[in-house]
Amino acid sequence: MGFIETKNWIVDKEREIVPQIEEAAMWIRENEVVAFPTETVYGLGANAYSEEAVAKIFQAKGRPSDNPLIVHIASVVQLERLVDEIPLHAKILIDAFWPGPLTLVLNKGEGIAENVTAGLSTVAVRMPDHPVALAIISEADLPIAAPSANVSGKPSPTLAAHVLSDLNGKIAGIVDGGPTGVGLESTVLDCTTEVPMILRPGGVTREQLEKVIGNVVVDPALEDDGQAPKSPGVKYKHYAPQAKLFLVDGTAAFLQEQVENAKAAGKKVGVLTTIEGVPNYQADVVLPSGTATDLATVAQHLYEVLRKFDEYDLDVIYSETFSEEAVGKAIMNRLTKAAGGDVIKEQL
């Protein structure tokens, strides 16, 4: 359904439950859709037990219905009601990383809406590390299915203003808890395989996981768009700005050469770099996402910068590439998706 006005509840994440959170939780219990902040990005939440409510998520986002959703919980008791069992390694991970940016894929139990899991026998669940998110889930007293609160394909929202820009009039309300922290979505780990498998890199790195449970593998089909996704956010092109994005794997001089060629062809050109890289480029728009010495800052600002490019009516954007160590793996996963896999590689 459409809304004449999407409500905007502004809350202070440092305070206790307030009337705004109570009202937002009431809308979720009434099977409407509400956006709220997590420590990763803003989520678009609905009652995970209601097919009707979850369908409104897909409708608002324009999201393909074969793309499963992550269910957000506020307690392990809620998890126990959602899944068939919790394996030992999953319990160890819960103790180590929850609440936090780690989603666990487990065999589902009874009662969860079929469209949450896209018909799969598994369900993806996490406990967000954000007081507003936890307060809403607790007040609603329901597990909440929540993908990122953006139009499908666009960069995920890290500010309430991003949500309003995409979804005003399409959802019941937005709980504005300020900017998110991590900036990229959670790591998704399949705990139903013999060796736990990363289906989507994110805020918890492979190195961190292996320190706790030992060997972890990365799904070799991560970029295979031809199979049914077990994880949210791995099948379709995501995170893309309006202008065509290319990743440039090479020197700054090689990237600047791409800029000059595009400008000679009459195109308006943007460059995505770091604070240190800004002086290296002469383009119509040069935007930094964090600092090269701390990739966590690149992750934190990446979606905000991708959205910022949309303000300049560009034809093409060239982005630097980043080391795939630690959180760099998640950064490059998102940039590769945003570029539709298009990489320009310098031949040295």
pLDDT in tens, 100-125: 999 999 999 999 999 999 999 999 99
Q: How far apart are CA 85 and CA 191, in angstroms?
A: 11
| Amino acid identity at 273 | T
Using DSSP's 3-state secondary structure scheme, residue 175 falls into: strand
For the domain covering 244-345, report its CATH number.
3.40.50.11030
Between vectors from CA 185 to CA 108 and to CA 337, what angle results, nearest 5°? 105
pLDDT for 221: 73
* Residue range 178-192: mean pLDDT, rounded: 95
- Average pLDDT for 285-297: 97
CA atoms within 13 A on the CB side of 114: 1
336 is in an annotated binding site: no
Convert the pLDDT of each residue in 249-284 to its tens digit: 999 999 999 999 999 999 999 999 999 999 999 999
| Pair 75, 94: CB distance under 8 Å | no
CATH 3.40.50.11030 residue ranges for the chain: 244-345
Any known ligand binding at 138?
no
Q: Is the pLDDT of residue 2 over 70?
A: no
Say what percent of the chain tops pLDDT 70.
Answer: 93
% of residues, the chain, pLDDT over 90: 87
Q: Is 81 annotated as a binding residue?
A: no
CA–centroid distance for 67 within its chain: 13
DSSP SS3 for 17: coil
Establish whether 63 is an annotated binding residue.
yes
CB-based burial label for 266 (10 Å; 0-12, 13-18, 19+): exposed
Please state the rounded mean pLDDT for residues 316-331. 96
96 pLDDT exceeds 90?
A: yes
Is 67 within any annotated ligand binding site?
yes
| Predicted pLDDT at 230 | 56
Residue 231 has pLDDT above 60, yes or no: no
Mean pLDDT value of segment 21-28: 96
Residue 237 confidence class, pLDDT cut points 50, 70, 90: low
Helix (H) / strand (E) element for 272: namely strand 269-273
Mean pLDDT of the chain: 93
The verdict on whether residue 243 carries a ligand-binding annotation is: no
| Residues forming beta bridges with residue 319, ordered by sequence position | 247, 272
Q: Which CATH class is domain 7-218?
A: alpha beta
Confidence of residue 226 (pLDDT cuts 50, 70, 90): very low
**CB-based contact 202:330 (threshold 8 Å):** yes
Determine whether the annotation assigns residue 122 to a binding site: yes
Tokens of 322: 């980043």
Residue 312 has pLDDT above 90, yes or no: yes
| pLDDT computed for residue 249 by the predictor | 98
Best CA proximity match to 347, nearest among 264, 250, 263? 250
Q: Which residues belong to CATH 3.90.870.10 in the chain?
A: 7-218
104 contacts 90 by C-beta, under 8 angstroms: yes
Residue 3 has pLDDT above 70, yes or no: no
Judged against a pLDDT cut of 90, whether residue 291 lies above it is answered with yes
pLDDT value of position 235? 52
Q: Is 40 annotated as a binding residue?
A: yes
Question: For 85-94, what is each residue's pLDDT tens digit?
Answer: 999 999 999 9
